[in-house]
Amino acid sequence: MAGQRPAAPNPRGAHFLRDHALISQLVRASGACPGRLVLDLGAGHGAITTVLAASGARVIAVERDPQAVRGLRRRLARSPQVSVVAADLREIPLPRRQFLVVANIPFSVSTALLRKLAGDPSVPFAGAELITGWGAARGFTRAVPRNAELAWWAARYQIRIVRRVAPQSFAPPPRAEAAYLSIRPRALTGSLSGQRLLRRMLRAAYRSPQRPAQQVLPGLAASDGGLLSRTTVRLALSQVGGDPRAPATWLTASQWHRLTMLLAGSR
């Protein structure tokens, strides 16, 4: 528009978080403290990294831009508990010990990152406080997941939007609103056999998305090696508020979690 200063070039498409109160909220909510391992993915100039370092946590800051990496290393040279890794956050190997994530992630990699963190049940992912795009956050937090992959993530991790984040919280501001997304493991993440049962049920359900749950779930291998009976499935569905005559794909993420816990023999 006439009279307005043109936007500054932003070839990287990066939007750096500058809301210090929000950054402090992210770090406090994460539980970062001495003894915890925390990843800052897409660390940029270190606005989140420095606050994480002050918590006493062991921090791994991942950034792919060489100039930003050099700046991070200079800025954090006196913080021995912080490691700066020059890498693409989508490609780094994840830690083998339990870890948290606190990050303002590039909006374009939201799905790829959640797939990396929550896709493999052997990854010791203990939760995250993330800033991401509003559209992606809405998709991740739908009560009824729209596909088997989202159901797999959301049945094992409670994913919720804490609040909207205005464009003015960033420099430069993005064109759309962002979201503060919190991810916490559900009880099911402590059971590998339960997660295997969940995967079998999701595959069966989404392979035949219109068939009633009472038809697609019985006959699957249970966590104890037996087969799920129609009676067992119907009883468990009624206990979680599901309709055995309705498609299993109508179940919410929370119902999938509770259903799996019941069928796996957990309470």
Residue 158 belongs to what H/E stretch?
strand 157-165
CATH class of the structural domain 16-185:
alpha beta
Q: How far apart are CA 86 and CA 75, in angstroms?
A: 15
Tell me the pLDDT band of 265, cut-offs 50, 70 and 90. Answer: confident
Side-chain-facing half-sphere of 148: CA atoms under 13 Å:
12
Order of strands across the sheet that contains 58-63: 82-86, 58-63, 37-41, 99-104, 125-133, 178-185, 157-165
CATH ID of 192-263, from 2.30.30, 2.60.40, 2.60.120, 1.10.8: 1.10.8
Q: How far apart are CA 100 and CA 183, in angstroms?
A: 10
Tell me the pLDDT band of 11, cut-offs 50, 70 and 90. Answer: very low
**Domain map of the chain by residue range?**
16-185, 192-263
The first and second tokens of residue 262, run together, are 């019941």
Q: How far apart are CA 267 and CA 68, in angstroms?
A: 48
pLDDT digits (tens, 9 = 90+) for 48-61: 999 999 999 999 99
Share of the chain above pLDDT 70, in %: 94
Tell me the pLDDT band of 14, cut-offs 50, 70 and 90. Answer: confident
Which amino acid is residue 100, in one-letter code? L
In the predicted structure, residue 29 carries a pLDDT above the cut 80: yes
pLDDT digits (tens, 9 = 90+) for 182-238: 999 999 999 999 999 999 999 999 999 999 999 999 999 998 789 999 999 999 999
In the predicted structure, residue 4 carries a pLDDT above the cut 50: no
pLDDT of 224: 78
Q: Report the residue count for the chain.
A: 267
